[in-house]
Amino acid sequence: MSYIKTKFRKLRILVVSLVVILLLVIVAGLSGIAYYKHSLTAVDPSCGEADCEAISFVVEENDSVASVAEELEKNGLIRSALVFRLYYKLEAKDLVIQSGEYSISKDMPVKKIAQNFNAGPDMQVFTITFLPGGTLADARTRLKAKGYTDAEITEAFNKDYDHELLASKPKDASLEGYIYGETYEFYVGTPVEEILIRTFDQMQSEIEELNIEQGFKAQGLSLHEGIVLASVVQKESGIIPGDMPQVAQVFLLRLQLGIPLGSDAIIGYYADQQDPNRDKTDMSYLTTTPCPWNSRNCVGLPPSAISAPGAGALEAVANPAEGDYLYFLTGDDGKMYYGRTEAEHNANIQNHCHEMCGYL
């Protein structure tokens, strides 16, 4: 009888031991799963809210999953190199790691990092903004700030482009006025020529959407002539966009009557081309500037635009305000004043333009 009891006791101890071992295995397994899942999460999930900095991470041509995992852990970009390797064996068998440079931040989970590696190295992008009223000189400055050389920019500016927007532009006219003011995004390394074509595309799209070319034709202007006049309207009334249609009316009436446009902005543009550092209080340019740029003495439009017109200026020339004004000026108070006669214009100068009319 004691023998049976002893056997039973040993069996019970064995069963208990097995149960304990099984429980330990289960606990260990659950802990392992929890550890595995936790290790797949981002090292710092909240840093995205704090605008955490992305780290440049380079994968060499012959790097293995193991070596990449070690480097990621060393840089604090993943929690565990072992778990990273296990992830590729268990869940990411079909994903590859392509060589190249990647931007990785601590708010990226392992799954996202693996997807990036599979998609290939980052294509870095940059934005560039060209402003309405800006000139080719302004565009050059902005392009140089993005790393382009003077030689690259000059070559692009002088290139003969086959684009619908430029169809009516005289061969000897520059691209002044055609770099449409907007913010654009490009891949790093995009040639300047492609950047310019993108601005042409944007301007052409605006012209078509707003029926600008038809409006120009109604005013007796080609597309190029309309853009040139819009560039003058932009410079003369850029700070007061609501006045653009009336300013356009003045210039269009002057063209119709065959009298000089009388735009000091045109003379000022020419003077800037001759001497970018000139004294703008020196009014001698009013008499020394030759035709066709001296808009006080010469009839007709200047040979090229003097700035990049925005949509408002283009629309103003295409659809000018009604009226028979022949004169306008921007007063010292920032308001626009109009006159039908030279006497009215002189009175406006006397009453409203002491400081502004002293600059060219």
Which pLDDT belongs to residue 121?
A: 81
Give the pLDDT of residue 50.
45
- Pairwise CA distance, residues 222 & 213, whole Å: 8
Q: Is the dihedral of CA 257, 260, 261, 262 positive or negative?
A: negative
| Per-residue pLDDT reduced to its tens digit, 225-266 | 999 999 999 999 866 778 999 999 999 999 999 999 999 999
Phi, psi of 247 (to 5 degrees): -65, -40
Residues for the chain: how many in total? 360
What percentage of the chain has pLDDT greater than the value 70? 88
Burial profile 42-52: b = 16 or more Cβ within 10 angstroms, e = fewer:
bbeeeeeeeeb
**Residue 34, pLDDT above cutoff 80:** yes
Give the burial class of 257: count Cβ atoms within 10 A of its Cβ; 0-12 exposed, 13-18 middle, 19 or more buried.
exposed
Q: Compute the C-alpha angle 53/67/72, nearest 5°.
A: 20
Residue-level pLDDT at 318:
98
Measure the CA–CA gap between 180 and 71, rounded to whole angstroms: 46
Where residue 24 falls among pLDDT bands split at 50, 70, 90?
Answer: low
Q: In the predicted model, what is the mean pLDDT of residues 168-180?
A: 96
Q: Determine the average pLDDT of the residues in 79-98.
A: 93
CB 330 within 8 A of CB 354: no
Q: What is the dihedral of CA 121, 60, 117, 87, to 10 degrees?
A: -170
Predicted local confidence at residue 333, as pLDDT? 86
Question: What does the alpha-carbon distance between residue 179 and residue 304 come to, in Å, rounded to a whole number?
Answer: 13
Backbone angles phi, psi at 125, to 5 degrees: -120, 160
Q: What is the mean pLDDT of residues 216-222?
A: 97
Summarised one tens digit per residue, pLDDT across range 260-306 is 999 999 999 999 999 888 888 888 888 889 999 999 999 999 999 99
Say how far apart CA 178 and CA 306 lie, in whole Å.
Answer: 10
Give dist(CA 175, CA 169) in Å, integer: 9
Per-residue pLDDT, 239: 65
- Residue 317: pLDDT above 70? yes
